[in-house]
Structure 1
Amino acid sequence: MIDSIPKRFLTPQRLLWTSVVVAIITITLKTLAWVITDSVGLLSDAMESLVNLASAIFALAMVTIASRPADEDHPYGHHKAEYFSSGFEGILIIAAAMGIIWAAGHRLFDPQPIQEVGWGLALSVVSSALNGGLAWIMFGAAKTHRSIALEADAKHLVTDVWTSVGVVIGVAAVAMTGWLWLDALVAIGVALNILKEGFHLIWRSSQGLMDEAVEPEVMSQIQATLEEFDHHTIRFDHVTTRRSGQRRFVDMHMHMPASWTLGRAAAVRASVEQALMSAVPGLRATIQLLPTDVEAHFDDVKDLI
């Protein structure tokens, strides 16, 4: 089904605009569900949707910045802006979880009856369906565009869906059993679940900002490509990689016979660079040429003092 959607509608910016609109709709539905039921569980669900809205707006801003071309002040581009989006979303999730725990804690010791359960649950289910459908589309687009901002927003939407499922089950259980305290307990359980997701997003963001190496499967593609050129006259060493948002970078040394002309050596290097960038979309390769009998030295003692 997702393949039938025109690609122009699956860009990060368009999907995040859609996320903003869906967040506004779900906030309206969930707030209405809370108002007519007076359920603290449904209140916690509505609070998380507020976080969805703020996160989508911030992610949209960061994706727009990340798409800017390289300039004099940012020669490697602006791709890392997406990591700020992921970290910010994690912080908002944690803040929402703490607010839910605070509200539910009071209701746990002073339980209140729930009204109009049927309407409240129906509104919650409709909003969950909207979030679930959008998250499914965004996961596919995040993989295509290698966008951590889209992936973070999609994960948050999935968390919101599971939150709503838990709330619906809890509110239905309260209606069937009459155990009013169960409503607050479900809300606290929901908060603990989204706390975990919030910390995970912050950790993922921090790793990206610290120039984390490329994924193992990408490194395998790089090594396989280099093996096509690696033989008795050419060898590669000091292969290092890093990720920066949608971009991936690899640096290495290519050793070759000292008798080769500069033109021949440059032609081989160009072939290696082209093969690497064809094998790994979004990769930027930097290759330093060295004679076979020359080794580069790193970590000079003076640099470590």
Structure 2
Amino acid sequence: MTQKFALWSIPISIAVLALKLLAWWLTGSVALLSDAMESTVNVVAARLAFFAVRVASKPPDENHPFGHKKAEYLSAVVEGVLIVLAAFLIIREAVLALPDPHLEDAPLLGIVINIIATGVNGVWAYLLLKIGRREGSPALQASSRHIFTDVITSIGVVVGLLLALVTGWLILDPILAILVALNILWEGWKVIRASVDGLMDVSLSDYDLQVVSSTIENNMGAALECHDLKGRRSANIIFVEFHLVVDGAMSVSAAHDICNEVELALERVYPGSVFVIHLEPDDELKGNGAKPSQVS
């Protein structure tokens, strides 16, 4: 599913770019040019996302025993850098246009075409975000956030151009382009920061840690305690390890059965994920970890 949507992003981004370039050609607006330049990044990003999703979908192998999921984070980092680069290029064009702002003879037609392109972008961004969250794909989610930024940018550009036409203040065109670029810079930084967190094995969210803890607590059977829980996420799978304390007199076989029950329960919540359990005797009790659930 992720590969299919990543592949479709390529022709859709090219179509949107063509529409926005046409809108710029009809109007001569530097703000619309900035909007089109951001869509140029979308085309490159779509190709990167497709490549990353293909690599990430490969199963673990001898050289990559934990899989290839981090390829998506690499793609998202590159996309963030491209977003920032596009923002600086937009600022350059806008600053050059400040002394002599102007619009061509067909601004309204160009604005209508830009609105059509924005509508296509909005629908596609929504679909990418929905699938990206469902499949746990950082690449698709990064692309959707970027496109949503593009949509917001386009709406602001259209409103600003209409205001410039009504008032005759054409200086609003390059000023608007600069404001758009600043917003793009912020969005690019957020994409880079989130992706670097994934590459640096940032801890699981409080929500995920709570879900894991509750699942262990409800399925630990005769175990006495779970502590030292920690984990990280890699795209749509998680890696978790924790210590499980059992009665020191318990047989290895019985303790192993408890571990199996806990792993099966966690696997149902997080399919394909990796769970490492360190068994400990009861003299390792800390008293500050999860205890067996009292609910039957």
TM-score normalised by structure 1 residue count: 0.90
CA offset at residue 294 of structure 1?
A: 4.3
Q: Distance in 1 between matches of 2:221 and 2:272?
A: 27
* Secondary structure in structure 1 of the residue aligned to 2:84: helix
Q: Distance in 1 between matches of 2:141 and 2:168?
A: 40
8 Å contact kept, 1:114–1:175: no
8 Å contact kept, 1:221–1:280: no
User: Which one of the candidate residues 147, 167, 173 is aligned to 2:157?
Assistant: 167
TM-score normalised by structure 2 residue count: 0.93
CA offset at residue 279 of structure 1?
A: 2.6
The aligned residue for residue 62 of structure 1 is: 52
CA offset at residue 115 of structure 1?
A: 2.5
Partner letter of residue 72 of structure 2? E
User: Which one of the candidate residues 22, 29, 45 is aligned to 1:32?
Assistant: 22
Q: Distance in 1 between matches of 2:222 and 2:256?
A: 18
Is 1:199 the counterpart of 2:189 in the alignment? Answer: yes
8 Å contact kept, 1:81–1:245: no
Partner letter of residue 35 of structure 1? W
> In the superposition, relative to structure 1, how do residues 291 and 218 fare at CA in structure 2: closer, same or farther (>3 Å)?
same
- 1:117-139 Cα offsets, whole Å, 9 max, x none, are 11101110110011100111111
The aligned residue for residue 86 of structure 1 is: 76
Q: Distance in 1 between matches of 2:222 and 2:67?
A: 37
The aligned residue for residue 158 of structure 1 is: 148
User: Which one of the candidate residues 242, 250, 257 is aligned to 2:240?
Assistant: 250
The aligned residue for residue 234 of structure 1 is: 224
CA offset at residue 231 of structure 1?
A: 7.2
* Secondary structure in structure 1 of the residue aligned to 2:66: coil
Is 1:50 the counterpart of 2:40 in the alignment? Answer: yes
Q: Distance in 1 between matches of 2:272 and 2:155?
A: 38
* Secondary structure in structure 2 of the residue aligned to 1:100: helix
CA offset at residue 167 of structure 1?
A: 1.0
- 1:218-268 Cα offsets, whole Å, 9 max, x none, are 111111112224577521122111111221011011111222221111111
Q: Distance in 1 between matches of 2:271 and 2:112?
A: 44
The aligned residue for residue 294 of structure 2 is: none
Gapped regions of structure 1 (runs ≥ 5): 1-10, 297-305
Gapped regions of structure 2 (runs ≥ 5): 287-296
Moved more, 181-190 or 233-242: 233-242
The aligned residue for residue 277 of structure 1 is: 267
> In the superposition, relative to structure 1, how do residues 281 and 192 fare at CA in structure 2: closer, same or farther (>3 Å)?
same
* Secondary structure in structure 1 of the residue aligned to 2:283: coil
Moved more, 257-266 or 225-234: 225-234
User: Which one of the candidate residues 276, 282, 290 is aligned to 2:280?
Assistant: 290
Structure-to-structure mapping, 1:213-224, within 5 angstroms: 213-224=203-214
- 1:134-193 Cα offsets, whole Å, 9 max, x none, are 111111111110111110000011011111111111111121111111110111111011
Q: Distance in 2 between matches of 1:198 and 1:282?
A: 31
